[in-house]
Structure 1
């Protein structure tokens, strides 16, 4: 996978998993390796923890939009700084900046190492980057 292909792939993953409120376990399996590990805000999520995390987000969120501020790729590794803006089912507004590094292997994400900073939202929303 070239660097440009890797960047397009990460954007596709976000479109189909974060922004799509109807994403399913099959959707996640298409884009994430069973060996997937996510380091986020001092926590470690393995593949099934990540699935639970995505379900927890979908239970809270009505909509989410991702805007990439920066995206740099070198081979199978992509680093991003992106904003996630969303509306919760209770009408609350969420905005977070995420700094993340992704590693891709065999057209699936195998690693995400990220820090999430809540810009707008309730204190109880601070764990949305890792809640599961």
Structure 2
């Protein structure tokens, strides 16, 4: 069963939030191959910035390289055959120990068991204004 089908099979909101947190964590820690979850024609629009599939893979690498840890707390989530939507809080710890918290509203379009598009907006909760750019940084 692929990740998207796992999310679709969640029978309650608590389980869906937990599975979404696990999915995001695995993706950003390098324990999940993006090609398993995202279509080759994937596009992501974050705060008006576009990333295609190669750009998104570069974004994941950038996050792993420039942070000590990234954790996700999914506050709300819903999922059906064509849409995964959530509101999550990302806590980033940098190598020097400073932290940032970013709230993310994510709407993922699903097609054939994969994510083909994400539209998201972010809001910096704690941290420096430059931390907000981390949501779409590639270099």
Contact 1:3 1:75 in 2 (8 A): no
Task: Report which of the two has the higher share of strand.
Answer: 1
How far has the Cα of 1:119 moved from its partner? 1.0
Task: Name the CA distance, whole Å, in 2 between partners of 1:9 and 1:76.
Answer: 17
Task: Report which of the two has the higher share of helix.
Answer: 2
**93, 118, 127: which one pairs with 2:133?**
127
Q: 1:128 aligns to what SS in structure 2?
A: helix
How far has the Cα of 1:49 moved from its partner? 0.8
Q: 1:126 aligns to what SS in structure 2?
A: helix
Q: Which residue of 2 aligns with 1:68?
A: 74
Q: CA RMSD of the aligned region, Å?
A: 2.2
Structure 2: which 5+ runs fail to align? 11-15
Q: Does 1:17 align with 2:27?
A: yes
TM-score by length of 1: 0.85
Contact 1:3 1:76 in 2 (8 A): no
TM-score by length of 2: 0.81
Structure 1: which 5+ runs fail to align? none
Alignment of 1:31-50 (within 5 A): 31-50=37-56
**85, 96, 105: which one pairs with 1:79?**
85
